[in-house]
Amino acid sequence: MQQFLETESDTIQIAVDHREAEEFDELLKKMGATVKRTVLPIGDFICSARLIIERKTRSDFEQSIIDGRLFSQLPDLVSNYERAVIIVEGTTAEGRINHNALLGAYASIIANYGASLIFTRNIHSTAELIFHFAKYEQITKKQPMRIYAKRRTLTPSQTTRSIIEMLPMVGPKLAKALLNHFGTIENLALASERDIAAVSGVGKKRAKLIKDIFSYAYVEDEDPSMY
């Protein structure tokens, strides 16, 4: 379903994920934007049909590098949107990652995934940047506004890998290792917990989480509708 379709007016529209601070609504509205707070399947702010923003505080940014979450999110962002922007908010680094590793992560975000990486001082400067992204996209570039963008075409192998990356604690590197080992999603789903754990980089904890997902019974109450 598509929402916030292009209008004839000069109203700037921004979709905000429901988990983001409500202060963003107030800040963006004061700048002149119309805000739609909703459940976004990926990203935190959508500025047009082609541009999505993932916002992280300094602390969350570092933690997402440590646990691999960031590099599980990036494939979805760049495969669904032409322009993916990572905003890191805050001036104080947590220091949980050494300088070289941090620079390596910066390089990977830009060079491997083609995403933009921007640093802001606080929530006010983040909101201002988001507003101007939306203004440029919708007013200057005349890009339509859609909350749910049409997914860019992927090869069958890319689609298979993206599915595996949705599993708990599985990033791009581990997804490839699992697929190289088992060949297909079906083989992985049918594999024993012990066989999954034997794949390099998986281990017992990840193997249990992966196996549990394949056998988990869907509960509709745990899946609030996005529409």
Residue 103's contacts (CB-CB under 8 Å, 6 or more residues apart) are none
pLDDT digits (tens, 9 = 90+) for 182-224: 999 999 999 999 999 999 989 999 899 999 988 888 887 776 5
Residue keyed to tokens 């975000």: 109
Residues 49, 91, single domain; the answer is: yes
Range of the domain at 161: 156-222
SS3 of the chain = CCCCCCCCCCCEEEEEECCCCCHHHHHHHHHCEEEEEECCCCCCEECCCCEEEEEEEHHHHHHHHHCCHHHHHHHHHHHHCCEEEEEEECCCCCCCCCHHHHHHHHHHHHHHCCCEEEEECCHHHHHHHHHHHHHHHHHHCCCCCCCCCCCCCCCHHHHHHHHHHCCCCCCHHHHHHHHHHHCCHHHHHHCCHHHHHCCCCCHHHHHHHHHHHHHCCCCHHHCCCCC
Residues 39, 130, single domain; the answer is: yes
Residues 169, 114, single domain; the answer is: no
Residue 160 domain-assigned (yes or no): yes
Judge contact between 35 and 25, C-beta under 8 A. Answer: yes
| CATH number for 22 | 3.40.50.10130
Residue 4 domain-assigned (yes or no): no
- How many separate domains does the chain show? 2
Residues 38, 115, single domain; the answer is: yes
Residues 164, 124, single domain; the answer is: no
Residues 113, 189, single domain; the answer is: no
Among 27, 15, 143, CA closest to 89: 27
- pTM beyond 0.85: no
pLDDT in tens, the chain (227 residues): 344 444 445 789 999 999 999 999 999 999 999 999 988 888 999 999 899 999 999 999 999 998 888 998 998 898 889 899 999 999 877 678 888 989 999 999 999 899 999 999 999 999 999 999 999 999 999 988 877 655 555 678 878 887 888 788 887 788 899 999 999 999 999 999 999 999 998 999 989 999 998 888 888 777 654 33
Residues 136, 96, single domain; the answer is: yes
What are the residues facing 37 on neighbouring strands? 16
Among 48, 45, 39, 40, CA closest to 4: 48
